[in-house]
Chains A and B, each alone.
Chain A
């Protein structure tokens, strides 16, 4: 690579707008390349600091009333952030000494985790679990776990029998004990850190539960790590900033047990322990921290696991449980990016004949990806998300696709320039740059514009994606318009080997017939038919109502299987829908208010598919009866304020039935199944009751003012109870509604953006139509994809159309530009098309093949969103290439009324 730019006399002149940039790229190549590579390294380092972030919140439409209610009340009722751990006894029921010992162990382990809130720990062995019953003169509360249940050793059969009857008394079947009494649950919520449960370490907690509870019961072996020497904090291992003052403390003596691990089933984990072992260090004052202890300081021994229980199954469900499946999915995504690049490189090698030449576009794509990830991370800031959401791969896909396509076209142009003019590498690079750069610039800008339309949808994750897509532009430009030409200019001419496929060139005469008017009409009619079919199919897409669990994971993924098992065993453990009654302070001591809440609970109870509801009025009825000698005739809400206060007095906010000042009372709804159809029915019933209740209230209170009641967060006393909907199932419904509303709109926006870009680039009506056709086709196919594949429409599939349009736009612009250059006066349309295909056909096919081959690898991903992106990328690449080769010339040959003079051959970019 020389620092002085040699004169490239043979090269055509670049358009005036780009001419100014030529010296920037080619004058000081070594310096420019060094600066850009340094920036790439910095961005890569920044990107590497990102952690998997599977925050479901980002995928929710923040302005939706369900989402707002959920955010407002989540901390008060702690509905969402719950882990449900189910221990199932394979042989017999739970009233077995061995099983209960394991259940107690699991409860203690989960309860001791730093982020688990002890107040939200529920299990037969959790403290404070009482049953209540009516006795002479009132109610009696006793512990479910009999007081003579031994702390050590096995309980007597009589104690187990009493436990069984207490479980029935406390109504725990379906909530903490499975319906068939073969399993028992440990339910836990995260410690609210500053009132925000999301601040606690969610994936970390799940990993510890998996490692310490699941593995402990299911691994026949365990690994004990003892200190090989005295271990001093700060000297032998690092400490986090907050605990720096503890440096110098002797934490373990030689021979002390430092850690016991049960999760060494995979060779990979055991290998990782040869480097460092995750250990929890506890200081004398109670402060503790996780530490990665260097393996050289420890002596490891494998031994039989005394807690191994092959007759107990462990299933993990809940919001926390969901986090368990995602870090692995994120790691998988990284693997698939690598595979995509490798396959694309192989395809390029096959077509270009030189491995070094093939690697350059791949390296450029990698650099562009590093820029995009780094810039996104920086844009998100330290407090923002910026994590790698395994479901939010679209921007990365976009960058790779655009970069690989443009890189492949530039590499092909470089090789052709050397072959045609037999010139030096530098001149060829400059010539190729001049020919390709305008189109690349248009393609990159167009892709960003198409993808940027996602920002229109009211979903934070889509807005972040749109921003990330736009932030991919600098990287794409730096990599493909600066780095890649510089690399090409330094590459030896010997790498421009003759095309292996050159012998096949005569075959182009066959597809060239598409330029004949009848065939051109047929081709365009075919495009129209595909477009119409795709639009018709796309309309059929509906939310996947049967889905349960994490839609971003495969239905057969272990987590989703666990969700189904736990939901069947513990139908009353977690409610997917809660309807919160907003009443104004002390609502629960006002009969009129309680009556309305009771009416809602009854209405929901009557809704098809609802198994049970849980709400304060029903519980207050029970207490009132208990106060009156248990007589069912007193299972009522007393009219007097004092009597009602008595009836609700046993219930604290920890019961989940009311908040601190009793201004909000949730009605928890437990459906028989968690399908979207059932949840939707419940939501409709709740909304209908809310409206009818308000009407009835205003009819009965002529003085009440509807205008002053609406919208106030806490209804004043002369207002009907306001019912707002929250809960995980409702959030999914809100997201599905958004997906349904924006599915078509985003398609139209993406098509509009593609058409605008095509029009600006082509500057003629025919050219614009021709260049816009492939991206619109690709977008329509992406729009139809969820329906065609039978997968449900979800918010995660919303970016597909924009992504497809953005990916297919580049090749279309290139094809249109190449055709414009090629169109010759003599020989007619077919000859012109033949020339166009001869020049650009292989390049376009090559770009499509490289991307399609890489994207096909994603089909094996465990995350449906990733598989969908794989299908979509392959599809868009294929459509981009095919439509570029056939539809663009067909459209242009029909549109072109006056032939243009031929441009010099060295303008062409083909092989």
Chain B
């Protein structure tokens, strides 16, 4: 849309440019004709349509992070503004403690901190030589946050990010598996998940960690706490599970109707669940239903390396705002079935 608008604007400017060229040429008889035409208007950046990996709400605005250090801010999920970021590492996740304070993490073990709701960022940590990307971040409050990453990387801060220390959690870290995410389950309970179905939880705000019996041996990419105290997991091969009582290992497998990896899942309001993943997979699960239905822009499921892939989402004023390989997308939800 914006591209077509740009082209039209360029066409409208044509007579002006011709006139300018004429005046210049008439003035300087010999050399003027060799000069290049004046520069066109600066192109609208397409950052909102490029690879974006994480999104989070900060008060009344949304903040999204992605490739080449891109951080975009929007107050209406339509117009996105790119903010200045002091590094170019690919950013994978963002999390806010409140409307002002938050962190973004990414490759090169980069950690960025904001205190103004995402308008400005400072680098707290940057270790490109380690080769360990951070894959998720969880802000508990203005001072405390956790970050997880590849090869068992697990960091925490207690002082607003002035110091980041490794978390001592052998049960989580000893196998050096990729840790894809960390979630708060409520009442001081935290969950870490990742490669080979690895699940670990803490009930004391992260001081001690215990392994949780996993329903799968393949990678878990996403998880979410449910309102009824249950747990939703999603991951490779279209796997999705609901844990009615995760501590006792009571899991129910959901029928997602496909083998595409699911990278993000969570509640979408009114008791419904949303599951997003590779191959343009966007699924909605009505409460009590065993089978997921496809939502979104109704594009056919696609495969291939470059197929549209969702990486995360944020519920936003009754709809979903998703991020992924094609950037930000607003996804209206169908009316709940009575």
Contacts and interface: CB of A to CB of B under 8 A. Distances in A.
B3 A608 contact: yes
Given A635-B51, A636-B107, A165 B311 contact: no
A519 interface: no
A93 interface: no
Interface string B103-133: 0000110000000000000000000100101
Contacts of B237: 136
Interface in B6-42: 6-7, 10, 14, 18, 21-22, 25-26, 29-30, 32-34, 36-37, 39-41
Contacts of B162: none
Nearest to B303: A169
A744 interface: yes
A169 B304 contact: yes
Interface string A133-172: 1101001000000000000000000000000010011110
B236 A136 contact: yes
B305 A599 contact: no
Contact of A169 (B30, B36, B108, B307): B307
Interface in B65-108: 67-68, 88, 90, 92-93, 107-108
B325 interface: yes
B128 A168 contact: no
Interface string B29-61: 110111011011101111000110100000000
A635 to B, nearest CB: 6
A168 B299 CA distance: 12
A253 interface: no
A626 B305 contact: yes
A740 B33 CA distance: 6
A633 B53 contact: yes
A631 interface: yes
Interface residues of A, number: 57
A273 interface: no
A539 interface: yes
B68 to A, nearest CB: 7
Interface residues of chain A: helix, strand, loop or mixed (majority): helix
Contacts of B128: 639
A110 to B, nearest CB: 26
A684 B88 CA distance: 24
B305 A132 contact: yes
A598 interface: yes
A609 B3 contact: yes
A634 to B, nearest CB: 8
Contacts of B92: 633
Contacts of A673: 7
B89 to A, nearest CB: 8
Interface in A526-547: 536, 539-542
Given A136-B236, A605-B46, A609-B3, A622 B306 contact: yes
Contacts of A634: 133
Given A599-B68, A608-B6, A635-B67, A133 B107 contact: no
A141 to B, nearest CB: 10
A629 interface: yes
Nearest to B305: A622
A821 interface: no
Interface in A630-662: 630-636, 638-640, 643
B303 A684 contact: no
B34 A623 contact: no
A681 interface: yes
B261 interface: yes
A421 B337 CA distance: 115
B10 A609 contact: yes
Interface of A: 131-134, 136, 139, 165, 168-171, 536, 539-542, 595, 598-599, 602, 605-609, 621-623, 625-626, 628-636, 638-640, 643, 672-673, 677, 680-681, 684-685, 737, 740-741, 743-745, 748
Interface of B: 3, 6-7, 10, 14, 18, 21-22, 25-26, 29-30, 32-34, 36-37, 39-41, 43-46, 50-51, 53, 67-68, 88, 90, 92-93, 107-108, 128, 131, 133, 135, 178, 180, 218-219, 221, 236-237, 261, 263, 278, 300, 302-307, 309-311, 324-325
10 contacts: A539-B29, A602-B50, A605-B50, A607-B43, A609-B6, A629-B219, A635-B51, A672-B3, A684-B36, A685-B43
